[in-house]
């Protein structure tokens, strides 16, 4: 019932915007969900009535009312209840539904449906269970905003009979409990057990007497449902949750199966039996929809229908190299060919014979070898039994008729091995040798019949005799750089990108500096230092050179040798502008440059740090960066501006001075009854503020209470020499209950008892 109500919140059927008047109980419900009956638009009143869907407002639970309230709030936010849509005559068999949230959209907003748990990551599942688990409920509705001519009319339905042409009329009909409607000019007409299309034909014949235009074509007629009543059906048999369910009037058997949480592991979906209230019986096969795209003609449910799922005839698992490994249900004469088709047929990589595990008559499981799948796909019969498990093997053999070429060629990769192909032809297939290719030798990596690896050598010159290639050979064309000594040079100091590079013939110090991005501003102009390795000795020779700053090419190029290290010295007199930021209660906060290196806190504050009248100097803090970390330097700013500090505080680039405004509270947080700010009172100590916050909780650790003063200094409750000042913070940590070590307790008790016994014995001996 609740799910039916939840669905009606989002796509409530049978709403027609017109003058809507609510009963007193409906008005009370509207107020609860956020719609004022006195000022509401017709659209909002219609929305409130539709949400009830004929139910008594007093029967709704608090959860249902809360869901309705949330749906109204979302509809108002999206503008769906601002004004009604323009009315237009319907000449098709559609149900008037308010334009708003669609069923698919509502499912995204609705509470997560845990009806079908996700399939486990390992093992096979029934294909239809995975289908139910991955589908939204909308997949199981026959039609969302319309009904077809096969819709069975039932008591409680509201119908609209429309006439147009020579006569313009719209007649509303209500199907009574006997399945009859009262038509003006005709009288009572029984529509019981008729479909919508059959009812329209019946009424057309009856109305020809009252409207002659129906006979000559001057008057057209259409019968459509305006509101369809709920359908009560029963789902029994091998389903997870059997029982009775209330569903929309145009629901089908698949929705009923979804509501019942699907079949049990042994329940059928291929022989779903429907017993109508009239005694008529129909059989539905879900696989006609899943695998053939069919639409069963008798899937629409009627009031009082019983849906019954017997046990599946045959359940067969298909695993391995197929399109959709899963457990499938077979019936009748369906055999191995059908099972492969249901599983998406074998993939192109399937090879060799298949394996079938079967439960034998004695209950044991035996393995049977089968032919490759192609034989059965072509018509070879092979009947399957309930519980059979089929495995389609995947090819494991690697490709054979190919060679690989890699290294210093223009197009390395895999190539076809042609008859009599040689290394020279393989190099030609790969586009030829690149300029850096090592002339004279290439290597061939070959796998021998016993799976061992060997390497062969061959010339790169096509004019010399080449080696005949075999399947899966790897031709490796070496480059000169692979065989060359990896000598390096490096550069450090006053350049943008200090680095190490491979030494190349003709490299100069000027070129290395240019490769490193050039000089930085604080380098020592006109000077570089080169550190040479002395050949044959464990020594370094240092030379200093004069160099031009513009690095233009000239006759003064300084050649480099393998292993050289170029150092660009830094200027010791260079001064980089340093900036400190003032933040908070200053008259002119912002960034300021230091006048000189190591300008002190007091000097800067005297020069630019004019405080706001409400500044709280004792709470001021100095923050400094070290790499990516920011840390606080704890000191009293009041002492620093006076003469209370033993040494002045020197500032650095990037420092931030934060000055708070006057604070008259102390924050208490952690394991206290009422964490928050407590008004500062002179003379109150840490325990007083903790008591003002409600005292410690059961898990508060009174031994490790920490106070952080306004200037950032910290102390534990035992070492705090000062009372908390305005802006201070008190933190009460969590006390972990340590389990009692009864071995230690009883050991201590035993030791004490033993000592007392020895003492008593000694006294007795002494007395005697």
User: Tell me: the pLDDT tens digits for 407-454?
Assistant: 999 999 999 998 889 999 999 999 999 988 877 889 999 999 888 999
Q: If phi over 0 gives left and psi between -120 and 50 gives alpha, with beta otherwise, what is residue 761?
A: alpha
Domain identity same for 345 and 292: no
pLDDT at 104 over 50: no
Same domain, 469 and 368: no
Task: Please give the pLDDT value at position 54.
Answer: 64
pLDDT band at 11, cuts 50/70/90? very low
Instruction: Quote the pTM value.
Output: 0.45
Answer yes or no: is pLDDT of 538 > 80: yes
Task: Kindly report, residue by residue over 120-149, the tens digit of the pLDDT.
Answer: 445 788 888 877 777 766 666 554 446 778
Query: Per residue in 475-510, is it b (16+ CB within 10 Å) or e — as a string?
Result: bbbbeeeeeeeeeebbbebbbeeeeeeebeeebebb
> Residue 562 maps to which CATH number?
3.10.560
107 shares its domain with 180: no
So what's the pLDDT on residue 136? 67
Instruction: Give the mean pLDDT of 97-112.
Output: 39
With a pLDDT cut of 90, the percent of the chain lying above it is 36
In a domain, residue 121? The reply is no
pLDDT in tens, 683-716: 999 999 999 999 999 889 988 999 998 888 889 9
Looking at residue 476, its pLDDT comes to 93
Is the CB of residue 673 less than 8 Å from the CB of residue 694? yes
* Domain identity same for 588 and 538: no
Per-residue pLDDT at 102: 39
Q: What is the pLDDT of residue 318?
A: 95
- Are residues 245 and 187 located together in one domain of the fold? no
- Confidence check: pLDDT of 230 > 50: yes
Q: Which of 644, 659, 674 is the last residue of a domain?
A: 659
The pLDDT of residue 83: 47
Please check whether residues 26 and 103 belong to one and the same domain. Answer: yes
CATH number of the domain bearing residue 178: 3.30.1950.10
Domain boundary among 659, 686, 705: 659
Residues 87 and 10 in one domain: yes
**pLDDT value at position 80?**
59
Separation of alpha carbons 339 and 387, rounded Å: 13
Predicted pLDDT of residue 22:
67
With respect to residue 118, please indicate whether it lies within any of the assigned structural domains: no
pLDDT at 479: 87
Output the domain CATH number for residue 470. Answer: 3.10.560.10
Number of H helices, E strands in the chain: 19, 35
Pick 67 or 299 by higher pLDDT.
Answer: 299
Residue 636 lies in a domain: yes
Confidence of residue 298 (pLDDT cuts 50, 70, 90): confident
- Shared-domain flag, residues 379 and 304: no
**Domain assignment of residue 57, given as a range:** 2-112
* One domain, residues 475 and 440: yes
Residues 20 and 92 placed together within one structural domain of the fold: yes
Sign of CA dihedral 618, 619, 620, 626: positive
Which tokens go with 87? 């009315």
Calpha distance 38→45 (Å, rounded): 10
pLDDT score for 738? 65
CB 729 within 8 A of CB 708: yes
In total, how many domains does the chain have? 9
Do residues 539 and 509 share a domain?
yes
What does the pLDDT read at residue 67?
67
pLDDT higher than threshold 80 for residue 247: no
pLDDT at site 469: 92
Pair (13, 75) in one structural domain: yes
What's the rounded Cα separation, in Å, for the pair 256 and 265?
17
Is 137 part of a structural domain of the chain?
no
Q: Is residue 138 part of a domain?
A: no
Any domain includes 459: yes
Q: Helices 62-77 and 42-52, interaxial angle, to 10°?
A: 150
| Better-predicted residue by pLDDT, 106 or 187 | 187
Closest CA to 286 of 303, 277, 274, 278: 274
- 338: in domain: yes
Where among 227, 244, 274 does a domain terminate? 227
Name which of 122-131, 234-243, 287-296, 656-665 the model is least confident about. Answer: 122-131
pLDDT band at residue 568 under the 50/70/90 scheme: very high
pLDDT at residue 95 in the model: 43
pLDDT tens per residue across span 491-520: 999 999 999 998 888 899 999 999 999 999
Q: For residue 512, what are its two tokens?
A: 């290395």
Query: Looking at the domain assignment, is residue 122 inside a domain?
Result: no
Indicate if the pLDDT at residue 397 is higher than 60. Answer: yes
pLDDT of residue 331: 92
Strand duo 565-568 + 488-493: pairing: parallel
């Amino acid at each position: 019932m609740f799910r039916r109500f939840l669905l009606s919140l989002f796509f409530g059927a049978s709403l027609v915007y017109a003058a809507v008047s609510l009963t007193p109980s409906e008005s009370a419900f509207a107020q609860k969900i956020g719609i004022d009956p006195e000022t509401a638009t017709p659209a909002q009143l219609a929305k409130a009535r539709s949400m009830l869907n004929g139910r008594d407002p007093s029967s709704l639970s608090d959860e249902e009312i809360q869901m309705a309230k949330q749906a109204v709030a979302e509809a108002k936010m999206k503008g769906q209840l601002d004004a009604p849509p323009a009315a237009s005559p319907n000449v098709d068999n559609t149900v008037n539904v308010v334009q708003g949230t669609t069923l698919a959209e509502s499912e995204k907003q609705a509470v997560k449906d845990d009806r079908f748990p996700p399939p486990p990551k390992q093992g096979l599942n029934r294909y239809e269970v995975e289908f139910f688990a991955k589908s939204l409920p909308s997949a199981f509705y026959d039609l969302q905003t319309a009904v077809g001519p096969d819709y069975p009319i039932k008591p409680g339905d509201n119908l609209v009979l429309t006439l147009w042409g020579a006569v313009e009329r719209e007649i509303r009909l209500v199907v009574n409990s006997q399945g009859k409607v009262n038509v003006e000019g005709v009288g009572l007409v029984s529509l019981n057990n008729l479909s919508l299309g059959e009812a329209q034909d019946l009424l057309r014949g009856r109305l020809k007497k009252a409207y002659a235009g129906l006979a000559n074509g001057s008057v057209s007629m259409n019968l459509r449902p305006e509101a369809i009543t709920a359908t009560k059906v029963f789902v029994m048999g091998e389903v997870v949750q059997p029982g009775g369910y209330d569903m929309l009037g145009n629901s089908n058997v698949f929705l009923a199966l979804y509501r019942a949480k699907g079949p049990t592991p042994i329940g059928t979906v291929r022989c779903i039996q429907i017993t109508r209230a009239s005694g008529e019986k129909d059989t539905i096969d879900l696989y006609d929809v899943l695998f053939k795209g069919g639409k069963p003609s008798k899937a629409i449910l009627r009031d009082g229908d019983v849906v019954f799922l017997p046990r599946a005839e045959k359940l067969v698992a298909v695993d391995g190299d197929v399109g959709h490994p899963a457990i499938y249900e077979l019936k009748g004469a369906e055999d191995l060919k059908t099972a492969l088709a249901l599983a998406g047929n074998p993939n192109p990589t399937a090879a060799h014979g298949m394996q079938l595990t079967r439960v034998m008559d004695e209950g044991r499981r035996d393995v049977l070898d089968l032919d490759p799948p192609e034989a059965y796909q072509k018509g070879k019969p092979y009947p399957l039994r309930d519980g059979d498990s089929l495995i389609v093997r995947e090819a494991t053999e690697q490709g054979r008729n190919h060679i690989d070429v890699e290294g210093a060629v223009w197009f390395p990769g895999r190539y076809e091995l042609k008859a009599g192909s040689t290394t020279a032809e393989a190099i030609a297939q790969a586009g030829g040798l690149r300029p850096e290719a090592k002339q004279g030798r290439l290597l061939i990596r070959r796998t021998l019949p016993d799976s061992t690896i060997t390497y062969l050598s061959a010339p790169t010159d096509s004019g010399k005799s080449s080696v005949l290639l075999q399947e899966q050979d790897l031709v490796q064309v070496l480059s000169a750089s692979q065989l060359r000594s990896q000598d390096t040079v490096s550069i450090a100091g006053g350049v943008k990108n200090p680095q190490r590079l491979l030494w190349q013939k003709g490299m100069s110090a000027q070129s290395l500096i240019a490769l490193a991005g050039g000089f930085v501003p604080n380098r020592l102009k006109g000077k570089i230092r080169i550190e040479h390795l002395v050949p044959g000795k464990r020594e370094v020779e240092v030379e200093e050179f004069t160099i031009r700053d513009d690095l233009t090419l000239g006759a003064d190029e300084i050649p480099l040798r393998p292993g050289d290290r170029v150092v660009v010295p830094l200027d010791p007199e260079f001064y980089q502008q340093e900036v400190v930021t003032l933040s908070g209660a200053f008259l002119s906060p912002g960034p300021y440059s230091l006048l000189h290196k190591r300008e002190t806190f007091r000097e800067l504050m005297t020069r630019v740090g004019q405080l706001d009248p409400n500044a709280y100097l004792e709470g001021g803090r100095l923050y400094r960066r070290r790499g990516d970390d920011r840390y606080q330097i704890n000191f009293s700013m009041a002492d620093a501006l006076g003469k209370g500090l033993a040494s002045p505080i020197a500032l650095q680039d990037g420092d931030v001075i934060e000055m708070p405004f006057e604070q008259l509270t102390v924050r208490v947080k952690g394991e206290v009854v009422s964490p928050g700010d407590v008004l500062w009172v002179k003379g109150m100590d840490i325990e007083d503020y903790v008591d003002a916050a409600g005292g410690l909780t059961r898990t508060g650790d009174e031994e490790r209470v920490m106070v952080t003063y306004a200037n950032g200094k910290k102390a534990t409750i035992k070492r705090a020499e000062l009372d908390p000042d305005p802006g201070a913070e008190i933190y009460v940590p969590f006390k972990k209950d340590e389990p009692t070590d009864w071995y230690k307790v009883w050991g201590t008790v035993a030791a004490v008892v033993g000592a007392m016994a020895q003492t008593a014995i000694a006294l007795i001996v002494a007395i005697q």
